[in-house]
Structure 1
Amino acid sequence: MKLRIRHVTRYQFDDPVKYGLQQVRKTPKSSHQQNVLSWSTDVKGGRKELAYEDHHNNTVELLSIDKNAELLLVTSEGEVDITQTDGVIGRHLGPSPLWLYKRGTEYTKAGAGVRALVHETDPKAPDLQRLHELMAQIRKAVAYQTGSSDPAWGAEEVINHGQGVCQDHAHVALSCTREMGYPARYVSGYLMLNETIEQDAMHAWVEVHVHGLGWVGFDVSNGISPDERYVRVATGLDYGDAAPVTGSRVGGAGEALSVQIEVAQQ
């Protein structure tokens, strides 16, 4: 399936920016089940300084914000061809060792809530069966609710509140699967929705490394493994490694941010 994607991020500042840098992770890569046919990033109110691949094998663009800019507009767009693999991504690629993805983070610290979810699965079941059972338990324990979470919540806080968004589901799944002994990573990407083309945020899911299969994707929020509607962009230990934009600036008080994403079948 060929998908056409357009991702526009607009920053309006009440006070001019004196200095600013951004790391942008919006660029898909050709690998495994996806082939990037075209991709470009256009910047108004700033410029692209360079692009590089980080230790998670993500494409990162470094942008500088123009001095005294009151508007920054970043437009990324292109076409990607996706092959259906039922969520199986395959062998591990990139410079980071596989064992790194067993490491916990502030977002994915395991506690009583995580261990209770893991306990609900059958340790004697085949890997895929047990992992699908786990994802179903997480979805039951944490209801998907837009605007219901705090970006600073870790896995245990998400479980305690019993609600969250795709980022929260991913952090709980990472914590649980690592507690079970699997390497697991956060995935940020694009998802074609059936009911609308326009969206206001990227999607998030997880991939777990299963012996004999390699990386396998699980989308807790939608209760499925990723299909040809999913475009992988960035991976990492948690949201912080795969966030679409990170950075810092001097000045630029009174920021107003808007995001517009369009994903459609070509």
Structure 2
Amino acid sequence: MKLSISHQTVYRYDHQVRNVVQSLRLTPSVFEGQKTQEWRIDVTDGIRGPGFRDGAGDWIEGWTVRGPTDQITVSITGNVETRDLAGVLRGHREMINPLTYLRDTRSTAPAANLTKLANSVTDRTDILDLAHGLAAAVGEAIAYRPGVTEASTTAAEALKLGEGVCQDHAHALIAVARLRDLPARYVSGYLHSTIDGEAHDAAHAWAEIHVRGLGWVGFDAANACCPDDRYVRLGSGLDAADAAPIRGISSGRGAEQMDVSVQVQEAEQSQSQTQS
């Protein structure tokens, strides 16, 4: 599938700030399931710094805005050709030992309710089957409902609430997988649509679990599926904060407000709409 992506993040400050430094993890991953055809990143009045590929295989680049300014816009446009690999991250080069992803964070810390959910998945034939079972259990335990959780909500809190968004599903799945001694990590990216073809919040997140013999395999508990050709992978980390597409610091006392707009369309459809 050929996907056209437009992603804009606007930061507004109630007082002017200066010397804003951002670290962007906004370039699609390099693996057999996706090929980037065009990709452009722009930062308002920004100076592009050096970029590098980290040990997890993610491309990270730095930007600086000297200011003073009360608004910064990060814009991404591009086209990515994707292929369905049944969730397997085949051909992705990285140097970090998978066992690193057994380490807990605040967002994925063990709790009694998470342990109970992890141990409820039994009678599995192998690791892959266990991973599928854990993903299904999380999807059943946490209903998708926007607006009921926050960025700081932990996996245990979302499970207790029984509701949340894709970030909560990913954190909960990572937590229960680690409780079963399976390395797991958080993935940020884009999603063209849900499994039934309905519109979806295009900025998306899911989890990857390391399966011996296969490597990293993606599981989207929020949509009860493995990532396919509707997904575009950007980067990964121990949790949402670690895998954040944009990180930044600034000099000044301005309170920050952020607005995000993301559109993902099939490229042919986008072109036909432009011509009509």
| TM-score category of the 2 structures, normalised to the smaller one | over 0.9
- Specify the alignment match of 1:111 in structure 2: 111
123 and 179 in structure 1: CA distance in 2 versus 1, 3 angstrom threshold: farther
Q: CA deviation at 1:226?
A: 0.7
22 and 96 in structure 1: CA distance in 2 versus 1, 3 angstrom threshold: same
Supply the distance in 1 between the matched residues of 2:135 and 2:198 (Cα, whole angstroms): 24
- Specify the alignment match of 2:270 in structure 1: none
2:242 is paired with a residue whose SS is: helix
TM-score by length of 2: 0.90
- Specify the alignment match of 1:132 in structure 2: 132
The residue type equivalent to 1:264 in the other structure is Q
Instruction: Tell me, yes or no, if the aligned pair for 1:117 and 1:137 is still in contact at 8 Å.
Output: yes
Does the alignment pair 1:243 with 2:244?
Answer: yes
The residue type equivalent to 1:18 in the other structure is R
- Output one character per residue of 1:167-196: Cα deviation in whole Å (capped at 9) or x when no partner: 111111001111111111110001002334
Supply the distance in 2 between the matched residues of 1:55 and 1:211 (Cα, whole angstroms): 20
61 and 148 in structure 1: CA distance in 2 versus 1, 3 angstrom threshold: same
Does the alignment pair 1:96 with 2:96?
Answer: yes
Supply the distance in 1 between the matched residues of 2:174 and 2:69 (Cα, whole angstroms): 39
Does the alignment pair 1:222 with 2:223?
Answer: yes
- Output one character per residue of 1:192-216: Cα deviation in whole Å (capped at 9) or x when no partner: 023348x4x6200011111221111
Instruction: Tell me, yes or no, if the aligned pair for 1:91 and 1:213 is still in contact at 8 Å.
Output: no
- Specify the alignment match of 1:54 in structure 2: 54
Supply the distance in 2 between the matched residues of 1:190 and 1:21 (Cα, whole angstroms): 24
How many residues align structurally?
264
Supply the distance in 1 between the matched residues of 2:232 and 2:147 (Cα, whole angstroms): 24
Q: CA deviation at 1:50?
A: 2.0
Instruction: Tell me, yes or no, if the aligned pair for 1:20 and 1:65 is still in contact at 8 Å.
Output: yes
Q: Which runs of 5+ in 1 are unaligned?
A: none
- Specify the alignment match of 2:198 in structure 1: 195
Of 216-225 and 43-52, deviating more is 43-52
Of 176-185 and 42-51, deviating more is 42-51
- Output one character per residue of 1:120-167: Cα deviation in whole Å (capped at 9) or x when no partner: 111543223222222121112111110110221222112112111111
Q: Which runs of 5+ in 2 are unaligned?
A: 268-276
- Specify the alignment match of 2:209 in structure 1: 208
1:51 is paired with a residue whose SS is: strand
- Specify the alignment match of 2:273 in structure 1: none
Percent of aligned pairs sharing the same letter:
36
Q: CA deviation at 1:91?
A: 6.3
TM-score by length of 1: 0.93
Q: CA deviation at 1:29?
A: 2.5
